[in-house]
Amino acid sequence: MSSPPPSTTALAGRRATSTPTLIWTALIVVYVLWGSTYLAIRITVETLPPLLSAALRFAVAGLVLAVVLRLRRGPGALRVDRRQLGSAALVGVLLLTGGNGLVVLAEEGPPGVALPSGIAALLVATVPLLVVLLRSATGDRPPIWTFAGVTVGFVGLVLLVLPGGSSAAVPLVGALTVVAAATSWSVGSFLSGRIRMPTDPFVATVYEMMAGALALVAVAAGRGELADFHPAEVSTRSWLALGYLMVAGSLVAFTAYVWLLHNAPISLVSTYAYVNPAVAVALGALLVAEPITPQVLLGGAVIVAGVALVVTTERPRRSGTGSRPGDTPASRSGDASASLSEDTPGSRSGDTPGSRSGDASVRDRQ
């Protein structure tokens, strides 16, 4: 469930006053920041426990967002009923504990075991394809070209993870872990448009982040991460990467994304779904020398082509209403998944991804 869609006249007025420069600036912020979170995760888990670091990320980002909302809107800013709270908590666990948490685990470990950040981003890009399958399973009938895009995307996934003989072959266990993460993210995104969520995407994101953080701490404790954690052994590089994830991935990029949803055509905003993986692959190769093999190029290109086909096929039904592909907890945490759950006119949380957190996501996204 998302916030009520603005009227066509109101949207037109807002978009008319939003200059192309502002729109493209916000879009580049989403492209680069959400695309870079996969590399930041890899650097974070070099010396920080994976699930504990994810819990810290979302707890701090959620608290900061809650304080900002409280200061700007007053004492009742975060008020929700029990059903909305429970829904946001469920979505937060699916998106951030299942989605982001599994991605973090997949990127941990030595070379040959850890999944390269660019590959992780390409696999997470399959979220819109999984959402289409969930829609179909519940009675929706997407266009034939949408199914064609899903088929193309999954062919790319197979090409990407197909075992190879070289030392640069994609780690299969890590790849399957990220596929599981994408599935969890897809289910969370899909449910967020069908259960009673807080109507404000920022408020929903606060509760999603806090629920996700609590669940991550519980799982981290079960894995022994709390007992083995010694802050003095964590490198400055990992602390900086974690701070980047908190500020850039979970707060700045999410805010830019929500602003775009209300000020730019959804056909333009939705391009993040296939630009972010390209940014992630490029940054991984340029900054930490992650290998880009012909297999990665071919599989990644086919996945992105499938996602692009799905997104462009889905546009016409939504652009006329001012709504966005909606998977976002609240409908949103930033990301990519929500982009296709059909009934949410509002916004998503960012990371992530990946954000979604906040529809992530969180795109946090991823």
Residue 72 pLDDT level (bands cut at 50, 70, 90): very high
Q: State the CB neighbour count (10 A cutoff) for residue 21.
A: 8
Beta bridge pairs of residue 331: 329
Determine what percent of the chain is predicted with pLDDT higher than 70. Answer: 79
State how far the Cα of 129 lies from the Cα of 273, in Å rounded to an integer: 11
Give the confidence band of 338 by pLDDT, cuts at 50, 70, 90: very low
Examine the pLDDT at 139 and tell me if it is beyond 80.
yes
The pLDDT of residue 267 is above 50: yes
Tell me the β-bridge partners of 333. 359
Place of tokens 């333009």: 268
What is the token pair recorded at 241? 């990467």
pLDDT score at 167: 57
Contact yes or no for 305/323 (Cβ under 8 A) = no
Average pLDDT over residues 17-28: 83
Spatial contact of 364 and 245, defined as CB atoms under 8 Å apart: yes
Least confident of 105-114, 268-277, 318-327: 318-327
Q: Is the pLDDT of residue 355 over 80?
A: no
Confidence label for 321 from pLDDT (cuts 50, 70 and 90): very low
Instruction: Give the whole-angstrom CA distance, residue 36 versus residue 358.
Output: 16
The count of residues in the chain is 366
Q: Specify which residues 114 forms β-bridges with.
A: 111
CA atoms within 13 A on the CB side of 228: 13
Contact 14, 256 (CB under 8 A): no
pLDDT reported for residue 170: 81
**Chain centre to alpha carbon of residue 121:** 10
Cis peptide before 354 (omega within 30 of 0): yes
Do the beta carbons of residue 349 and residue 198 sit within 8 Å? no
Distance of CA 211 to the CA centre of its chain: 16
Summarised one tens digit per residue, pLDDT across range 148-171 is 988 998 898 888 887 765 556 788
Annotate 141-182 with DSSP letters as a single string: ---HHHHHHHHHHHHHHHHHHS--SSTTPPPHHHHHHHHHHH
pLDDT of residue 309: 87
Distance CA 122, CA 178 (A): 10
Query: Of 5, 175, 204, 196, which is closest to residue 95 (Cα–Cα)?
Result: 204
**How many Cα neighbours within 13 Å face the side chain of 77?**
16
